[in-house]
């Protein structure tokens, strides 16, 4: 998908094409200043052995919001093959991209590697939310490796990799990492006018999970959260999203 300014203060989508399990639909209120796209799962995916890729660009001056109609469930293939899901985001000068998909659920027996890479031009704005739920209700987690890489003005801003599930890094579900929680997520906000913010921990009851706010070496803030389930995780992240929505 590609979003560009329409010359009248709005944004249009000259390119919107999906294939296989990834169907793309124009959504959102008509006549707004930004374009809205919803990713619809046209079939069950990713399965073991699948190779999926989605690309989104907000050209200079455009505003694009991308969401999803439902959670993405990673499922095992017949032969235990690994699946890949790659997301590539480009945000031009003065453009804004809000990447707000639904959670990724690592079902029992699945094996998924997911990479998200974002490139931001000067003055670009990005709101990016990622949520991983480790297993469906009352089942153990599948294997999941998720890497998030962000460049701002050609320089590295963030590069992190998380691995969960059986056979991955030792202690991934121990007290030093998840502490028994089954959902993990991050919210990244990049904007030239964010201002200065000190690191902090969310003031919430322990049973709701944990969230930490960190200022990155650039015009960016990163919220990292763990929670007992997807509902509590979304509550934690949405609290910060509302707090900075006017920025």
The answer to whether position 100 is within a domain reads: yes
Does this model's pTM top 0.85? My answer is yes
Give the CA angle between residues 72, 76, 81 to the nearest 5°. Answer: 115
The pLDDT, as a whole number, for residue 108 is 94
Would you state the pLDDT for residue 246? 54
Please check whether residue 20 lies inside any domain of the structure.
yes
Instruction: Say how many Å lie between the first and final Cα of the chain, rounded.
Output: 25
pLDDT of residue 30: 63
Please tell me the predicted confidence (pLDDT) of residue 31. 59
- Residue 132: inside a domain: yes
Domain count, the chain: 1
- 82: in domain: yes
Chunked mean pLDDT (size 10), the chain, 247 residues: 93 92 86 87 84 96 95 89 96 97 95 97 96 93 95 95 87 85 96 87 88 91 96 95 77
For position 3, what pLDDT does the model report?
A: 96
**Predicted local distance difference test score (pLDDT) of residue 44:** 77
Whether residue 236 lies inside any domain: the answer is no
pLDDT of residue 177: 84
Q: Tell me, yes or no, whether 75 lies in a domain.
A: yes
| pLDDT tens digits for range 225-246 | 999 999 999 999 999 999 887 5
Residue 136: give the domain boundaries: 2-190
């Amino acid at each position: 998908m590609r979003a560009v300014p329409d010359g009248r203060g709005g944004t249009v989508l000259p390119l919107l094409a999906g294939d296989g399990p990834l169907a793309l639909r124009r959504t959102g209120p008509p006549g707004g200043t930004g374009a809205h796209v919803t990713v619809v799962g046209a079939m069950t995916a990713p399965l073991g052995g699948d190779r999926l890729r989605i690309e989104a660009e907000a050209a200079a001056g455009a505003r694009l919001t991308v969401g999803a109609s439902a959670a993405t469930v990673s499922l095992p293939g017949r032969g235990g093959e690994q699946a890949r899901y790659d997301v590539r985001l480009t945000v031009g000068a003065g453009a804004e991209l809000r990447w707000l998909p639904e959670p990724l659920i690592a079902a029992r027996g699945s094996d998924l590697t997911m990479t998200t890479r974002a490139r931001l031009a000067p003055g670009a704005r990005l709101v990016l939310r990622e949520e991983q739920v480790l297993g469906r209700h009352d089942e153990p987690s599948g294997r999941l490796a998720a890497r998030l890489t962000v460049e701002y003005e050609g320089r590295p801003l963030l590069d992190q990799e998380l691995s969960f599930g059986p056979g991955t890094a030792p202690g991934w579900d121990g007290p030093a990492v998840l502490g028994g929680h089954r959902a993990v997520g991050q919210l990244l906000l990049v904007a030239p006018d964010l201002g200065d913010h000190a690191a902090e921990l969310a003031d919430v009851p322990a049973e709701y999970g944990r969230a930490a706010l960190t200022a990155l070496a650039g015009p960016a803030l990163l919220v990292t959260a763990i929670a007992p389930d997807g509902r509590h995780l979304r509550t934690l992240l949405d609290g910060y999203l509302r707090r900075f929505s006017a920025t």
